[in-house]
């Protein structure tokens, strides 16, 4: 069987050393020494400031919105369900506008149109789908012209840079997921990168029950802290991450070279690197998708319709400014196996098998 995804396995010898440290410190959670070490190393590795570790990528979205005072959100219908459900859960009203047909990211023109049609939200949320950066320049314009906040769901975009600058430095906040299935992981975990230091400080109180050190309870908070065991896994995995990303990006390009004449490959941001987070292919029709899927299943190759269905159809009672591209794409999109342990031989097999279904 060729697995769709396979989590990075942390080196146990290295992990044991960190776990011993935790016992020596007698400090298991609440912004401990390993938490702080991981924060520093991630800021350094990613090229960002104001990075706050949290317990998962979903609460990263929730805490980002709470911190920025977001109440109403215009979001993308083509993403993992958490990009919408995280906000709905805390009664932030989410409406949708459409994606770009070739990058699959929230389309700035469609956002402009929504505003023109009277959309009145305080925050735009856009996902860097499959790690491919959104049109961040266009969203910067919308941000200043419409006086809205921008949150990027960067759960797929670990290590992605635009013009040599971390993609996490755009918008008011970017959120990461460190779930075991992501490029970099802490088993469960995540982070928020804030543009403003004061938002970072506010969020750090919010994720610890609203407690401000030395001042007591200053807000209604939640518990969304990352503990020392998770930080230990992160520190071990971070040592490997350069190799992991290089390898995954290489595998991604191998796939693209073998498939580009047969299926639609997403249009990558021209000034950004790739991290090989996913291998999406867009088929011509649902019938073709079904045939490819059957061919892969027959050869024990895992694959998934990711993301499907289009989220405007899941949250069908929400306001929708037209999501026909998202519906079209989500009905035809398939993700193929891509992870740190896929081999080039696997990829040849997968490409040959997929082609049989075309």
- Among 82, 77, 49, which residue's Cα sits nearest to residue 65? 82
- Helices 108-116 and 136-146 cross at an angle (nearest 10°) of 20
DSSP state of 131: G
315 is a contact residue toward ligand PLP (CB under 6 A): no
Query: Cβ-closest residue to ligand PLP?
Result: 57
| Closest separation in Å from C-beta 86 to ligand PLP | 7
Q: Residue from 142, 155, 157, 222 that binds ligand PLP (CB under 6 A)?
A: 155
Which range, of 67-75, 100-108, 151-159, 220-228, touches ligand PLP by CB under 6 A? 151-159
State which of positions 185-204 bind ligand PLP (CB under 6 A).
190
Query: What angle (nearest 5°) sits at the alpha carbon of residue 219, between those of residues 218 and 220?
Result: 145
Longest dimension (CA), the chain: 65
177 is a contact residue toward ligand PLP (CB under 6 A): yes
Q: Residue from 5, 39, 56, 275 that binds ligand PLP (CB under 6 A)?
A: 56
Q: Residue from 46, 52, 53, 57 that binds ligand PLP (CB under 6 A)?
A: 57
- Among 60, 66, 63, which residue's Cα sits nearest to residue 80? 60
| 127/84 Cα distance (integer angstroms) | 11
Q: Give the contact letters, 68-107, x = binds to ligand PLP (CB under 6 A), - = no.
A: -----------xx-xx------------------------
Q: Give backbone dihedrals phi and psi of 175, rounded to 5 degrees, phi first.
A: -115, 145
Q: Give the contact letters, 105-134, x = binds to ligand PLP (CB under 6 A), - = no.
A: ----------------------x-------
Q: Is 129 helix (H, G, I), strand (E, B) or coil?
A: helix
DSSP state of 215: T
Spell out the residues 6+ positions from residue 302 whose beta carbon is closer than 8 angstroms to its own: 1, 2, 3, 4, 296, 337
153 is a contact residue toward ligand PLP (CB under 6 A): yes
Binding region for ligand PLP (CB under 6 A): 56-58, 79-80, 82-83, 127, 153, 155-156, 177, 179, 190
């Amino acid at each position: 069987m060729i697995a769709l995804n396979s989590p990075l396995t942390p080196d146990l010898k290295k992990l044991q050393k960190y776990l011993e440290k935790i016992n020596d410190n007698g400090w298991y959670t609440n912004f401990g020494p390993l938490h702080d070490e991981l924060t520093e190393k991630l800021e350094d590795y990613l090229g960002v400031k104001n990075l706050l570790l949290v317990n998962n990528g979903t609460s990263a979205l929730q805490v980002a919105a709470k911190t920025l005072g977001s109440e109403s959100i215009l979001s993308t219908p083509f993403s993992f369900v958490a990009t919408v459900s995280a906000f709905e859960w805390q009664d932030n009203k989410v409406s949708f506008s459409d994606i770009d047909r070739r990058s699959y990211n929230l389309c700035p023109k469609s956002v402009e149109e929504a505003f023109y049609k009277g959309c009145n939200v305080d925050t735009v949320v856009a996902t860097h789908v499959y790690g491919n950066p959104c049109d961040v320049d266009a969203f910067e314009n919308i941000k200043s012209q419409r006086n809205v906040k921008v949150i990027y769901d960067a759960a797929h975009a670990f290590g992605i840079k635009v013009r040599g600058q971390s993609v996490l430095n755009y918008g008011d906040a970017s959120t990461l997921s460190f779930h075991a299935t992501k490029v970099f992981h802490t088993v469960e975990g995540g982070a928020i990168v804030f543009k403003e230091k004061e938002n970072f400080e506010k969020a750090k109180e919010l994720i610890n029950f609203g407690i401000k050190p030395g001042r007591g309870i200053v807000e209604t908070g939640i518990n969304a802290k990352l503990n020392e065991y998770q930080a230990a896994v992160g520190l071990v995995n971070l040592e490997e991450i350069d190799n992991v990303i290089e390898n995954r990006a290489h595998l991604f390009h191998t796939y693209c070279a073998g498939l580009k004449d047969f299926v639609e490959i997403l249009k990558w941001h021209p000034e950004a690197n790739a991290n090989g987070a996913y291998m999406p292919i867009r088929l011509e029709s649902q019938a073709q998708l079904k045939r490819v899927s059957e061919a892969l299943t027959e050869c024990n190759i895992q694959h998934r319709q990711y993301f499907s269905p289009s989220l405007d159809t899941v949250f069908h009672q929400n306001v929708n400014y037209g999501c026909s591209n998202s519906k079209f794409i989500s009905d035809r999109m398939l993700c193929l196996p891509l992870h740190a342990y896929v081999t080039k031989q696997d990829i040849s097999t997968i490409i040959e098998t997929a082609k049989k279904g075309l």
